[in-house]
Structure 1
Amino acid sequence: MSSYISSELIELNGFQPLQISEGITLPKKIQYACGLNVLDEWLNVDFFDDALIWNFGHIGGVPKSVAEGVYKLNLLERHPFPDNYFDYAFCEDFIEHIHQKDAIFFLSEVLRTLKPGGVLRLSTPGLHGVMSLHFNRPDLNSVIENQDAAYTRWGHVHFFSHESLRTMALYLGFRKYRQRSYGKSWHKKLKNLETRAEQANYKINIYAELTK
């Protein structure tokens, strides 16, 4: 059952998300593909794709926090932000939904728009965790059954390991790649941002901070 009450919801019919335009004041922190998780004092952006619209229908409308605090943005196109702008960036459970070539593009745009010394914190289901949980029995029926649980059901298309994500980040130009754990960071602004503790408990997700 939804935790939202009717006074906190806006009817989906006719709803139009906020658009980024010239002249708006941009925070120095950005959250990519935020979904329903709206962070105060951050620029929250999302594509408002079918998965998010499904959530709106499921809870009976658009939460006011989303309607008033999330901007529509296609992360697979050039981002409408200046070079060297953001101090911090955060992205939870997004890059597993896009193909590897698209992840390269996305990370290159994050790098461009971070200021020197800026940090991107990433959380995503890791390949080792997915294999351990879903593909730990070498028989065909098990593999076929778990393709749905690991991929199809959630729209997942690619899982990174720390090794592959580090390789991509460093080749693109990030100076540092540091492995992290759920909610833990040396940066105060990046602590306790994740919302999916169950993925940490099952050791599915990997957490990393990429420094420009």
Structure 2
Amino acid sequence: MGKKEFHYTTAGDGVEYSFKFEIQSLIGRSFFSKSPPLKNGYCNLGCGYRFLDDYVNSDFFQFNTLRTFLNKPKLNFNLDWELDMRFKIKCKNNFFEGIFLEHVIEHLKINDAIFLLKELFRILKPGGTLRISVPDLEKYISFYNKKKVHKKFLNWKNIPSEALWSLNHNFGHQSAYDFQLLSDLL
């Protein structure tokens, strides 16, 4: 099989976070950690480049203050709040009305995801909304077992195991979830 036949985008670093990532986390938590601003009471956690108006858009440390000082271009200029979700979140209890995570927790090891979920319930107001979106493991398994083919899987129709590989290794994914597992964790 040639490389062009293998439909990968980016391969993750396996099950370990990279050394560079750990150093960035340590520096960020030590020198750039702050509490979130209060906008309309909603947080877009792990936003990447998908910003939501009037939400507290947050993601991993970008060091934009340091970048400005060093006359370097900013990375993610719309971030309102920078943090490492694997550690205690610097935020008051019952702070947010709602928290939105779209394609975030699959980038964490399962134990880190469990810790994050506990933190989210701590900072979420009672009766608040937690919305989580992840790739659906059940759909990938159905495709692999040739039960159902969604158009997003057509790149992998000749080698279905590539879809499972992609789910578990592309984009830095560290874990996979179906409805039952995610429900049990919540």
Pairwise TM-score range, normalised by the shorter structure: 0.5 to 0.7
Q: 2:91 aligns with which of 69, 81, 88?
A: 81
Q: Which amino acid aligns with 1:166?
A: S
1:60-99 superposed matches below 5 A? 66-99=76-109
Distance 1:68 1:149, change over 3 A: closer
Partner in structure 1 of residue 133 of structure 2: 123
Q: 2:51 aligns with which of 30, 35, 38?
A: 38
Instruction: Name stretches of at least 5 consecutive residues in structure 1 with no aligned partner.
Output: 1-16, 50-60, 170-212
Question: How many residues of Structure 1 are paired with residues of Structure 2 in the alignment?
Answer: 135
Structure with larger RCO (C-alpha < 8 A, sep 6+) = 2
Deviation at 1:62, TM superposition (A): 5.0
Residues 81-133 of structure 1: per-residue CA shift (max 9 Å, x gap): 00111101000001111121111101000000001101110110111012123
RMSD, aligned CA: 2.7
What TM-score, normalized to structure 2? 0.63
Partner in structure 1 of residue 13 of structure 2: none
CA contact (8 A) 1:38 1:70 kept: no
Deviation at 1:80, TM superposition (A): 0.5
Tell me if 1:162 matches 2:179. Answer: yes
Q: 1:29 aligns with which of 42, 54, 79?
A: 42
Secondary structure at the aligned position of 1:104 is classed as helix
CA contact (8 A) 1:33 1:94 kept: yes
Distance 1:143 1:30, change over 3 A: same
Distance 1:153 1:166, change over 3 A: closer
Q: Which amino acid aligns with 1:90?
A: F
Distance 1:93 1:75, change over 3 A: same
Deviation at 1:48, TM superposition (A): 4.8
What TM-score, normalized to structure 1? 0.56
